[in-house]
Amino acid sequence: MDTRTSAKDLIARLVGFDTTSEKSNLELMSFVQDYLSGHGIESHLTPNETGDKTNLFATIGPAGRPGVALSGHTDCVPVVGQPWETDPFIVTEKDGKLYGRGTCDMKGFVAMCLAMVPAFLERPLITPIHLAFSYDEEVGCTGVKPMVGRLGKDLPMPLAVLVGEPTMMQVVDAHKGISDFETVITGFESHSSMDLAGGNAIFAGSRFVGELMRLREDYIAKGDASGRFTPPYSSIHVGVISGGTAGNIVPRRCEIEWEMRALPEHNSGDVERAVMAFADRELLPVLRSVSPDTSIVTTRLVDAPGLAPDAGSAAEVLAKRLTGSNAVETVSYATEAGHFQLAGAPTVVCGPGDIAQAHRPNEYISLAQVDACLDFLSKLTQACRTGL
């Protein structure tokens, strides 16, 4: 079986596992582990605390040497409510495209890495190739962290990490981070005729949002010194506000879900501290004037660090060599790349498919992109045979 046919078959197998982030990925990982074992490759699992999900790390080539890690996540976003024209968990080939949930984001890349395993093994590698497959990327890039925490300890620290998120095989050397927060304001519930406005959690919440808007304008004014990002600033966004029980009751509770997508040089913790300092200084005293049993609490739900540009890094040099292009791009979405970089591994993002197809109904990857990625991985194989 040629590598392209093998890749198509493996894409179909992986898409067939419903690994929506809320579900287990153990069945898929068992398949991957068995596939690797069938080729004589040992894999190491890093399960989550409940044991229903796991990461997988495997090394092909000499142990004890730093190698090139191919990183991908095995979870996918839900299909519920989306108008799919085909079964999202059965790959359909049509007009040079493979349709199915995860074909683009990003089981396609994982499958292509697996399809290349026989080629990786065909001749000895001087520089090893690592496979690093994770869970829960789609819910905040949280699943990869336990595996990354093992790098340089009982798992080898890669000399370069290539995260195969869909970039149309362009080299991405920088992206924004994302931090999601939930702020819960607890006020004092009373009959609206009493007009205890100081205890009104929604009033406090509206002022809290106003401060976020002011901070947003500050970051827009700071802009993007590199001139490479779109939009060209660190963005602050409020997505959900909920609260109150009835029109004639002073609301006791207001919940605000907000996020920051920070440029690599900015820290969402600065915004969190600034808005909470405002809350403690301006909002909480008003609430406490009505009742001591009031509070404002912010919880960080998601924290995926940005990827900072690292010109001349081993990952960038390698990716440019394999793609044959000296260009580097930026994206405004987050990936697991920032976690690898923070752990000390040079990292770039470069993978098949168009991000515009991700998360949408009728998601697909073109066979042209499959071929481009397999060519990229074939060149990586040659490079690792001669040594990096």
Of 266, 288, 304, at which residue does a domain stop? 304
Q: What is the mean predicted confidence (pLDDT) over 28-34?
A: 98
Same domain (yes/no): 300, 310: no
pLDDT at residue 36 greater than cutoff 90:
yes
Active site residue 75: yes
pLDDT at residue 152 greater than cutoff 80:
yes
Angle in degrees, CA 357, 361, 365, rounded to 5: 40
Same domain (yes/no): 283, 316: no
pLDDT the model gives residue 332: 86
Annotated catalytic residue: which of 105, 137, 224, 336? 137
pLDDT digits (tens, 9 = 90+) for 314-325: 999 999 999 999
Annotated catalytic residue: which of 75, 138, 316, 336? 75
CB 374 within 8 A of CB 116: yes
d(CA 101, CA 287): 47
Same domain (yes/no): 125, 160: yes
Q: What is the DSSP string of 148-166?
A: HTTBTTTBPPPSEEEE--S
Provide the CATH number for the domain around residue 145: 3.40.630.10
Same domain (yes/no): 187, 166: no
Domain of residue 289: give its range.
Answer: 178-304
Of 287, 304, 321, at which residue does a domain stop? 304
pLDDT digits (tens, 9 = 90+) for 187-222: 999 999 988 878 999 999 999 999 999 999 999 999
Same domain (yes/no): 183, 300: yes
CB 15 within 8 A of CB 95: no
pLDDT at residue 1 greater than cutoff 80:
no
Provide the CATH number for the domain around residue 185: 3.30.70.360
pLDDT the model gives residue 197: 78
Active site residue 282: no
pLDDT at residue 292 greater than cutoff 90:
yes
Same domain (yes/no): 144, 229: no
Helix, strand or coil for residue 172?
strand
pLDDT digits (tens, 9 = 90+) for 76-103: 999 999 999 999 999 999 999 999 999 9
Same domain (yes/no): 188, 163: no
Same domain (yes/no): 171, 239: no
Q: Which residues pair with 93 in a beta bridge?
A: 98
Percentage of residues of the chain with pLDDT beyond 70: 100
Same domain (yes/no): 135, 197: no
Largest CA distance in the chain: 82
Domain count, the chain: 2
Same domain (yes/no): 30, 99: yes
Same domain (yes/no): 153, 90: yes
Same domain (yes/no): 150, 107: yes
pLDDT the model gives residue 6: 95
Q: What is the mean predicted confidence (pLDDT) over 41-54?
A: 97
pLDDT the model gives residue 360: 97
pLDDT digits (tens, 9 = 90+) for 324-372: 999 999 998 899 999 999 999 999 999 999 999 999 999 999 999 999 9
Of 304, 333, 364, at which residue does a domain stop? 304
The CB density around residue 300, as the number of other CB atoms within 10 Å, is: 13
